[in-house]
Chain A
């Protein structure tokens, strides 16, 4: 396939003309990650030359070395394990409760109408603000940490699922009815598959929230976990270690999102197909 460009493409004069496929790939990469690369380069140069305070913003090579050390020495392994366990348990419970409940509530209009004000109220109440309440109820241990993450991740999943079910095209349901489909069949063959894209919106939103809440929960009354390590490194003024933990958390967030995107592509290829 060939593309004919009508406007002459904008080209940076310093760059050599890239015309091969590898060149096109490099250009696409530059477009997408060029700014990020520039920012990282600036950080490195600025920190080593002392333009910014290197005790607060250490050079990137120091941070990467710290990250490498902590990973290879296994120092963070326990923290990673416990953090993943907390977030995973809470997120899993939110999925197991949120999706079935949402599928159910989305179909029963009076129930949905009666519960909607409560849900909206809870959703607007910051889970972090409720964390002291959870600590009072469940103590300062694992239970309150997992519960606060569960609480924060439940509502995006639940509301997205309810929304997805409510948005299902009634005309498709009617179509199935004209072929004599029973209620359960309509649920299985129409409502469930039609809701999947909306459910994924909730899942992806919640995955981000789970990591966010995880860190906050681990900064209060924890002695393990990546959130604790960020805090602890700062107290001990081990700034490279602090940034290493932050980078690790960011990588987990990216990985979780990539996993969900891949799963979504697999399950809802149809919603992306274009002519």
Chain B
């Protein structure tokens, strides 16, 4: 697969998507008639207060949940479940405690039918990419939170997805590890040329990583908004435009 071919793929279209949950017998609409186009290779962040449906949207995109109505198209094809062109990184690393780092990273490829030795050969490349080459033989219990999350990221990258779906991937990490990991995600996105869809509640993280930020409202009837982040990369958190942008986005949520 050439880079050119790959760069063209990974386009996501959301058409009239609605999803509601039953809460105490009452249906609660979390997503209502959402329309969205995500370009191939774009980096989109989804932010919003808790309960706004951002994780639900990501799970529908992942194919882990079916929408009540509407559809999701990936490269023009309708989504009906999980697919090979997508990989998900969860908030928790979700590593298998009985496998070492190398086998955990190769696990995704093994699930897709590759023999173990070939899966591990691919895995090694991505273990290096996330900077864990020395820890190939370590078991998850021996890793710190940040290292474990990097293993999870490497596992998702190893299957070479066109679309990388991230559900608050850095939410559980400490502040310092988080900053490092944001830099790493920016680098990985640039190097791997994937479509990146990131759910986060960290507004700075959204501005740092995304081309566009989708703001989902909590109030019923309010419409989701898309904000363009037109900042040069690599981005500097202390840049005046960056800071102004963060302030503007925080104001959206009533924070100052």
Measuring CB to CB, which residues of chain A are less than 8 angstroms from any residue of chain B? 169, 171-172, 174-181, 185, 189-190, 193-194, 268, 270-271, 273-275
Taking the closest CB of chain B, its distance from the CB of A85, in whole angstroms, is 35
Query: Using a Cβ cutoff of 8 Å, how many contacts connect chains A and B?
Result: 61
User: B92: CB under 8 A from chain A?
Assistant: yes
- Chain B residues lying within 8 Å of A175, measured Cβ to Cβ, are 88, 90, 94
| B126 within 8 A of partner (CB) | no
B108 within 8 A of A: yes
B144 CB contacts on chain A under 8 angstroms:
275
Beyond contacts A172-B96, A176-B107, A270-B99: 15 other A-B pairs, Cβ-Cβ < 8 A, are: A171-B90, A172-B94, A174-B64, A174-B94, A179-B159, A180-B82, A180-B83, A180-B84, A180-B111, A180-B112, A185-B111, A193-B98, A270-B139, A271-B97, A274-B142
Q: How far is the CA of A275 from the CA of B142 in the complex (A)?
A: 4
Complex Cα spacing A178 to B143, Å: 23
**CA of A176 to CA of B90 in the docked complex: distance in angstroms?**
12
Q: Does B40 contact A (CB under 8 A)?
A: no
Q: Which residues of A contact B84 (CB under 8 A)?
A: 180
B213 to chain A, nearest CB (A): 25
Asked whether A171 and B98 contact (CB < 8 A) given A177-B82, A178-B88, the answer is no
Q: Which of B73-114 contact A (CB under 8 A)?
A: 82-84, 86-88, 90, 92, 94, 96-99, 107-108, 110-112
What residues on B are CB-neighbors of A176 within 8 Å? 107, 111
Instruction: Give the distance to chain B from A231, nearest Cβ to Cβ, in Å.
Output: 46
Which residues of A have CB within 8 Å of B86? Answer: 178
Query: 6 closest A-B pairs (Cβ-Cβ)?
Result: A179-B111, A175-B94, A270-B98, A181-B111, A179-B108, A273-B141
Q: Please list 26 pairs of residues, one from A and one from B, whose beta carbons are closer than 8 Å in the complex, sorted by A's number.
A: A171-B90, A171-B92, A171-B94, A174-B64, A177-B82, A178-B82, A178-B87, A178-B88, A179-B82, A179-B87, A179-B107, A179-B159, A180-B111, A180-B112, A189-B96, A189-B110, A189-B111, A193-B98, A194-B98, A270-B140, A273-B139, A273-B141, A273-B142, A274-B142, A275-B143, A275-B144
Contacts of B98 in A (CB 8 A): 193-194, 268, 270-271
Q: Which residue of B lies closest to A171 (CB)?
A: B94
B165 to A: closest C-beta gap in Å: 9
Q: Whose C-beta in chain A lies nearest to the C-beta of B152?
A: A175
Contacts of B181 in A (CB 8 A): none
Question: A73: shortest Cβ distance to chain B, in Å?
Answer: 48
Cα of A274 to Cα of B97 in the assembled complex, Å: 11
Residue on A with the closest CB to B94?
Answer: A175
For A190, list chain B residues within 8 Å (CB).
Answer: 96
B249 to chain A, nearest CB (A): 30
- Secondary structure at the A interface, as helix, strand, loop or mixed, is helix
CA distance A90 to B113 in the complex (A): 40
A-binding residues in B (CB < 8 A) = 62, 64, 82-84, 86-88, 90, 92, 94, 96-99, 107-108, 110-112, 139-144, 159
Please tell me which one of the listed residues A172, A181, A189, A275 contacts residue B141 in the complex, with CB atoms under 8 A apart. A275
State A199–B141 Cα separation when bound (angstroms).
Answer: 21
B236 → chain A closest CB, angstroms: 34
CA distance A199 to B87 in the complex (A): 33
User: Please, which residue of chain B has its CB at the minimum distance from the CB of A185?
Assistant: B111
> Are A178 and B142 neighbours in the complex by a CB distance under 8 Å?
no
Which listed residue, A178, A193, A194, A275, touches B62 by the CB 8 Å rule? Answer: A178
Give A271 Cβ to nearest chain B Cβ, in Å: 7
Q: How far is the CA of A175 from the CA of B83 in the complex (A)?
A: 13
User: A174 — which chain B residues lie within 8 A by C-beta?
Assistant: 64, 94
B112–A179 touching, CB < 8 Å? yes
Question: Among the interface residues A176, A178, A194, A275, which one has the most CB atoms of the partner chain B within 10 A?
Answer: A178
CB distance from B98 to the nearest CB of A (A): 4
Q: How far is the CA of A180 from the CA of B88 in the complex (A)?
A: 12
